[in-house]
Amino acid sequence: MKFRRLKDQRRGQLMASALGLFAARGFSTVAIADITRAAGLSVGAFYLYFPNKEELLRQLVAEAGLAL
């Protein structure tokens, strides 16, 4: 259980950081390293949760759709 919570927390950190950066600077100018730096995680950690930046964006859009 504790591991699952930590995993969800890290994924959430990456998504929140990405959302803020995409809103401020635009998708194409944000690098994965920017997202991980803002989230306080390693680039390697990013790839545990998302295969690429485009998939992260798809998941952000999907979650935004669910929130509506």
What is the residue extent of each domain of the chain? 2-67
Q: Which pLDDT belongs to residue 3?
A: 67
Neighbours of 63 (CB within 10 A): 12
* Tens digits of residue pLDDT in 2-36: 768 878 899 999 999 999 999 999 999 999 999 99
Residue 66 in this model has a pLDDT that exceeds 80: no
pLDDT of res. 67: 60
Taking the C-alpha atoms of residue 47 and residue 32, their distance in angstroms, rounded to an integer, is 10
Q: What is the distance between the alpha carbons of residues 31 and 21, in angstroms, rounded to a whole number?
A: 10
- The reported pTM is 0.88
According to the model, what pLDDT value does residue 68 have?
Answer: 52
Alpha carbons 10 and 60: distance in angstroms, whole number: 14
Q: Write the class of the CATH domain 2-67.
A: mainly alpha
Percent composition of the chain: helix, strand, coil (DSSP 3-state, to 5) = 85, 0, 15
Tell me which H or E stretch contains 28: none
